[in-house]
A and B are shown apart, each in its own frame.
Chain A
Amino acid sequence: MCRRSRERGRTVEDGGVAVYGLVNKAVEDLAHTVGGPQTWAAIRARAQVDVPTFIGMDQYPDEVTYRLVAAASEVLQMPAEQVLETFGEHWVLYTAQEGYGPLLDLAGSTLPGFLMHLDAMHARVALTMPELTPPSFECTDVTEHGLRLHYRSARPGLEPMVVGLLKGLGRRFGVEVAIAHVERRVDGADHDVFAVTYR
């Protein structure tokens, strides 16, 4: 199968990693929220993305998203990690809620419940988005006030986004969340592990 997605004349071929347009739309949404249309225009220009609008179900090379994040970091004068963390939180609270709110509602009514069903939810989403390469979230050592979250992703460098997601989920379920990045793939670990406590 040949996946073709046009972005500045390039294509995403078999074996490449692609992202659905809804993720890039979420970046656009965040830029509008933070700084308005001018900020988004500046980010788009700096990222050299000439796509006038992202289509949610179209696929774009991951590189586009990375460029957008890097450009946002420059335009907003924020470290890339902070941009990703902000994006993760924004994704949970606003973007995903807007389009997939009912699905999020089904995924669980508590933070640990939600995290434990996250893979199942991604599996169902993958039925609809066959090219989706979602990350995997595994919960171990679940107690009343904490768990260990094992994060596995084909996309490197997005760990700060997981922190943002967890913070956003904490706000969604009304609990205080503390996150510690206890194992890092960049440090040689098999995968990233976060120690999450909540109350």
Chain B
Amino acid sequence: MTRVTGLGPGQLDTVFPFHLVCDEQLRVRQVGPSLARVAALARPGADFHACFTVAEPRGLLLQRPEDAPPGLVLLDLRPGRLRLRGQLLAADGLLVFLGSPWVRDLTEIAEHGLQLSDFAVHDPVVDVLMLLQTQQAGLADARRLADQLQQAARTQARLAQAERRLAAELDALPDLTLRVDAAGQVIDFRPAGVPDTALAAPQLAVGSTLAEALPHLAGRLRAAVSRALEHGTTESVDYTDHQGGRAAFFEARVVATGEQEALVLIRDLSERKALEDKIVHQAFHDSLTGLVNRALFGDRLEHALTSRDPAGTAGGETTCLLYLDLDGFKQVNDTLGHRAGDALLVQATERLRELVGPQDTLARLGGDEFAVVLATSPLEAAEHLAERMVTALQAPFDVEGRAVRVGASIGVAAARNGDDSEALLRRADEAMYAAKRDGRGRWVLHHPLSEARSAQPVRWEADLRTAVEDGQLTLAYQPVVALDTGALAGFEALARWRHPVHGTVPPADFIPAAEATGTIVPLGEWVLQEACRQAVEWSADLLDPGWGVNVNLSPRQLREHDLPQRVEDVLARTGLLPHRLTLEVTETALHEDIENAAAQLRRLRAGGVRIALDDFGTGFSSLSHLSRFEVDQVKIDKSFIDGVGTSSTETAITAAVIQVARQLGLEVIAEGVESAHQAAALRTLHCPAAQGYHFARPMTAAAVEELLSDPARSTRARAALPLPRSAAADAATGTVPSQRPPQATRHL
């Protein structure tokens, strides 16, 4: 073992584990233990240049020990990538290398198969690397801390922003906000965002107690605070304050914000409550009149019925219902407009309000329908009220400067045991319609005997379907008379229904039902067929060739696109000449679909059938209809004839219609003539023809044949030979004679 540097071989190994000693020929003589472990070729006797490459100084020609450079030398191990740093020394003819591995990262040490003990204690490379790593760790810590601080700053900024927003929201809140502790002491507070005397709480101050600040609410608030703190719930306390002469509604909400702290928000709900009340009122009241609407009316009626004593009272009191419908209101709406109609409804409501007691309910059920519930009343009182209402509504109304007259038809019904609101309402409604039928402007008390009869319309719809097939329908014929001679000029065929169970059913009852259900089409076709057949039968023996028969067409029939063909078929089947058939249509029917109606009439007239405009004056009353629609005959409505000779207005209108019709070459028939005075007046106006009770009621076919078989009777004026007004004729009409003739009713 070579002794160099004054150190023993063992010491040299310890101090320089990577040392190397070469002889004069640069052959390896001694290798440090660590170098020997990692340099496989560096063995005693090996050539220096076979084991190492001098990396620095670059280009050094190292051939003998004396060539050793004085400074730093870098040797690269061959083979491999390990680089050694150190110093070459020439001493005593030997070349000595004292150095250690050079690494730039702690991980490289292990990669080269080295351990900590391979590094000389005096070699600082590992320590420097550790220092660098520690500094890097410190830098990473600093970065992490900076990130956290940045994050904290951002969080802080967001918190500050949220705090500002919350403060702004709290400022804007209409609530009085308090923070209180568990003992009910105010920690801090924020006044209500909206000034309100009721929320001002002048005694409120930091440190004050709830009892001092809000004495009227303190007890309940304290309890709510306790519950909120105990259960973590949000508590709510509603209360009403009657200070200042008005009722104010408040809600206090309490929420725990800590173990011993709660937030109390008190809000004035008075406006919202008022709005809610208004909405509820609107939901149950009519917006135009302010009256109770149908919904609330139904509720009150039901309540009255359920509260009613079934045993009745000593005074015979019960729940009474008045069902009122204005007469002629539709005409007001149609002629003066809806605004005028509304004004009239408001005035009518005012009159009714004055008559109805505070315990009773006056309601507007819709349109021109009103109702009054008398929860507990003697029937006489209800009748008296109905009478007063009829009277009150008869007086003219001032609508937009015009005097407008309407009336009222009222049905009165009294509750019976077992009645529900629907039953009572139905009876009152039926009574109201009875009042309409009886001539309007009156009240009718529903009578049990009339119930079976009035309840029929619902059933008619089903029975009508079989009425035609079962031969329950018959025709009545009302004569048309030439006014100048009194001679018969024709007949109007009118449908009659003899029900197998209920007897004769008035046309006013079953025709609307037939129209609504569509059975009017087969019913109308049967009427047409039967009338034509009868006319042909009579014309063969009895009927003057110039006479004809009038048959009514319903609006629904007029809409049937194959109506002209059906009429043509009937004429073909019966053999009636087309010009002897006159089909009557109303202005209203024409107006439903003007273009189609005009086209239908043109096609019918093209087939030779004549057309009459019925009830002229009751519909849209436009004289232009006379020229627009191709008609042959005009029938002036009874409402005008009623005033002929007595009313200058009706007389003038009738005269004008007659005049216009004559100038257009149209025939004219006055309907509903009921007196000699009217007949005379019509003659004066040169009205050519008329029909009505004054001349004859509708009569059976047999009665017509009896009449026709006496030529003298059939051609003489009524003054000389009154036409029959027999029981048979009355039966044919299905009506009971009354002092007041019924209003003209549209029927087949």
Contact pattern, A 46-57, Cβ under 8 Å of B = 1, otherwise 0: 000000110111
Closest to B114 in A: A106
- Asked whether, in the complex, the Cβ of B130 is within 8 Å of the Cβ of A124, the reply is yes
Closest to B131 in A: A128
- Asked whether, in the complex, the Cβ of A56 is within 8 Å of the Cβ of B106, the reply is no
A6 → B minimal CB distance (Å):
14
Residue A102 at the B interface, CB < 8 A?
yes
- Asked whether, in the complex, the Cβ of B110 is within 8 Å of the Cβ of A105, the reply is yes
- Asked whether, in the complex, the Cβ of A127 is within 8 Å of the Cβ of B131, the reply is yes
- Pick from A21, A53, A56, A124: contact of B116, CB below 8 A: A124
Q: Which chain A positions have C-beta within 8 A of B116?
A: 106-108, 117, 120-121, 124
Residue B589 at the A interface, CB < 8 A?
no
Known A102-B107, A125-B130; contact A108-B137, beta-carbon cutoff 8 A:
no
Contact pattern, B 104-137, Cβ under 8 Å of A = 1, otherwise 0: 0111011000111100000000110011011001
**A55 CA to B142 CA in the complex, in Å?**
8
Known A124-B127, A127-B130; contact A57-B115, beta-carbon cutoff 8 A:
no
**A103 CA to B144 CA in the complex, in Å?**
23
- Asked whether, in the complex, the Cβ of B137 is within 8 Å of the Cβ of A57, the reply is yes
Q: Which chain B positions have C-beta within 8 A of A105?
A: 109-110
- Asked whether, in the complex, the Cβ of A124 is within 8 Å of the Cβ of B117, the reply is no
Q: Which chain A positions have C-beta within 8 A of B131?
A: 127-128
Closest to A102 in B: B106
- Asked whether, in the complex, the Cβ of B130 is within 8 Å of the Cβ of A99, the reply is no
- Asked whether, in the complex, the Cβ of B141 is within 8 Å of the Cβ of A106, the reply is no
Which of B109, B130, B133: most chain A Cβ within 10 A? B130
- Interface residues of B, count at CB 8 A: 23
- Asked whether, in the complex, the Cβ of A56 is within 8 Å of the Cβ of B109, the reply is no
Q: Which chain B positions have C-beta within 8 A of A120?
A: 116-117
A139 → B minimal CB distance (Å):
14
- Pick from A21, A56, A127: contact of B127, CB below 8 A: A127
**A120 CA to B116 CA in the complex, in Å?**
9
Residue A153 at the B interface, CB < 8 A?
no
- Asked whether, in the complex, the Cβ of B110 is within 8 Å of the Cβ of A102, the reply is yes
Known A102-B106, A103-B130, A106-B126; contact A53-B115, beta-carbon cutoff 8 A:
no
A134 → B minimal CB distance (Å):
14
Interface size class on chain A is 20 to 34
From 237 to 283 in chain B, residues with beta carbon under 8 angstroms from any chain A beta carbon are none
**A125 CA to B131 CA in the complex, in Å?**
8
A69 → B minimal CB distance (Å):
22
Q: Which chain B positions have C-beta within 8 A of A22?
A: 137
**A107 CA to B148 CA in the complex, in Å?**
34
Residue B145 at the A interface, CB < 8 A?
yes
**A127 CA to B135 CA in the complex, in Å?**
13
Residue A109 at the B interface, CB < 8 A?
yes
Residue A129 at the B interface, CB < 8 A?
yes
Residue B138 at the A interface, CB < 8 A?
yes
- Asked whether, in the complex, the Cβ of B137 is within 8 Å of the Cβ of A106, the reply is no
Known A102-B106, A102-B110, A117-B116; contact A53-B144, beta-carbon cutoff 8 A:
yes
- Asked whether, in the complex, the Cβ of A106 is within 8 Å of the Cβ of B145, the reply is no
Count of A-B contacts with CB under 8 A?
63
**A120 CA to B141 CA in the complex, in Å?**
26
- Asked whether, in the complex, the Cβ of B141 is within 8 Å of the Cβ of A55, the reply is yes
**A124 CA to B103 CA in the complex, in Å?**
16
B137 → A minimal CB distance (Å):
6
Closest to B107 in A: A102
A51 → B minimal CB distance (Å):
11
- Pick from A55, A106, A121: contact of B110, CB below 8 A: A106
Q: Which chain B positions have C-beta within 8 A of A56?
A: 137-138, 141
A33 → B minimal CB distance (Å):
18
Contact pattern, A 127-157, Cβ under 8 Å of B = 1, otherwise 0: 1110000000000000000000000000000
- Asked whether, in the complex, the Cβ of B148 is within 8 Å of the Cβ of A53, the reply is yes
**A102 CA to B112 CA in the complex, in Å?**
13
Q: Which chain A positions have C-beta within 8 A of B133?
A: 99-100, 102-103
- Asked whether, in the complex, the Cβ of B106 is within 8 Å of the Cβ of A103, the reply is yes
Closest to A25 in B: B141
Q: Which chain B positions have C-beta within 8 A of A108?
A: 115-116
Closest to B113 in A: A109
**A106 CA to B131 CA in the complex, in Å?**
15
**A22 CA to B137 CA in the complex, in Å?**
10
Q: Which chain B positions have C-beta within 8 A of A121?
A: 116
- Asked whether, in the complex, the Cβ of A124 is within 8 Å of the Cβ of B107, the reply is no
A62 → B minimal CB distance (Å):
20
Closest to A21 in B: B141
- Asked whether, in the complex, the Cβ of B145 is within 8 Å of the Cβ of A55, the reply is yes
- Asked whether, in the complex, the Cβ of A99 is within 8 Å of the Cβ of B106, the reply is no
- Asked whether, in the complex, the Cβ of B148 is within 8 Å of the Cβ of A106, the reply is no
Q: Which chain A positions have C-beta within 8 A of B126?
A: 106, 124
- Asked whether, in the complex, the Cβ of B134 is within 8 Å of the Cβ of A57, the reply is yes
- Pick from A53, A100, A125, A128: contact of B145, CB below 8 A: A53
- Pick from A21, A117, A125: contact of B117, CB below 8 A: A117
**A102 CA to B117 CA in the complex, in Å?**
14
**A105 CA to B118 CA in the complex, in Å?**
13
- Pick from A52, A102, A129: contact of B134, CB below 8 A: A129
- Asked whether, in the complex, the Cβ of A52 is within 8 Å of the Cβ of B130, the reply is no
Q: Which chain A positions have C-beta within 8 A of B138?
A: 55-57
From 18 to 44 in chain B, residues with beta carbon under 8 angstroms from any chain A beta carbon are none
Which of B115, B117, B133, B134: most chain A Cβ within 10 A? B134
Known: A103-B106, A103-B130. 14 other contacts (CB 8 A): A52-B152, A55-B142, A56-B138, A57-B138, A99-B133, A100-B133, A102-B133, A105-B110, A106-B114, A107-B116, A109-B115, A117-B115, A128-B127, A129-B134
Report which A residues bind B (CB closer than 8 A). 21-22, 52-53, 55-57, 99-100, 102-103, 105-109, 117, 120-121, 124-125, 127-129
6 closest Cβ pairs, A-B complex: A102-B106, A106-B116, A128-B134, A105-B110, A57-B138, A127-B127
Residue pairs across A and B with Cβ atoms less than 8 A apart, 14 shown, are A55-B145, A56-B138, A56-B141, A57-B141, A99-B137, A102-B107, A103-B133, A106-B106, A106-B115, A106-B116, A117-B115, A121-B116, A124-B126, A125-B130
